[in-house]
Amino acid sequence: MKTAVIERIRQSPTLLRVVPFAVFVVLTYGQGKFGVTSIFWMYLLKTVVGVAMLRVVWPWISELRWKVSWEAIVAGVGVFAIWVGLDSLYPNLNNLIGDFLCPVLGRVGLASLCPSEASSPAWNPHAAFGQGSILAWFFIAVRLLGSSLVVPPLEEAFYRSFLYRYVIDQDFDRVSLGAFRWKAFLLTSLFFGFAHNEWLAAILCAFTYQGLVIWRKRLGDAMVAHAITNCLLALWVATRGAWQFW
């Protein structure tokens, strides 16, 4: 980043939390848009960019600090169990869109807007680079590290530090991390939930992480819980071949 841009971001509590997340989302959208294997190379790119952005904003977001606690460990393991345990019990977001929205779009001549399997390739590096290949395991390691160490601080800074408090008061920096408001709690959780294909598990996940922040009055426990959940999920995917979670 150019020095002037970095300084502008550093001077704004909002930009500090929103810009890294927004850049990460844009790069996520690019996965698979430049050929089948770009789904993996773009993940590598967004992980590297995510690390760079965290290095820029970390000193300026005081609550962005890892905090290990028994509550964080229990929450992280519990959310992982919910994520995996609920998988076959409800339709995921892609299925909901396919079953309800796509027929409507088709009737008005907008069927091309519907997602398809071809446009959303499975995140399975063994299928793309060869079963057990070095490149396949490399991208699995990238995904494990990226989802465990980069995604948690980026998402928690946006959802729990910024968005939740912004819903309460646009001057969000005045709002304590321990403040509880039903409207902010539900809206932030729904926003987080429907940003994931496993929307129901994600909403329950958001309830848990937000509750942890409110209870402990700090962000670090939720970051640790988020990291534990994602790490366990990555290990589950890699060892069980449950690629639908990725």
User: What is the chain's percent helix, strand, coil content, to nearest 5?
Assistant: 75, 0, 25
What's the structural domain count of the chain?
1
pLDDT tens for the chain, 246 residues: list them: 567 777 888 789 999 999 999 999 999 998 888 888 999 999 999 999 999 999 999 999 999 999 999 999 999 999 999 999 999 999 998 888 777 777 776 777 766 666 554 445 579 999 999 999 999 999 999 999 999 999 999 999 999 999 999 999 999 999 999 999 999 999 999 999 999 999 999 999 999 999 999 999 999 999 999 999 999 999 999 999 999 999
User: From CA 143, how far away is CA 231, in angstroms rounded?
Assistant: 9
Taking the model in full, what pTM does it have?
0.90
Distance, in Å, from the CA atom of 132 to the CA atom of 242, rounded to the nearest integer, reads 16
Give the other-Cβ count within 10 Å of 7's Cβ. 11
Domain of residue 56, residue span: 3-245
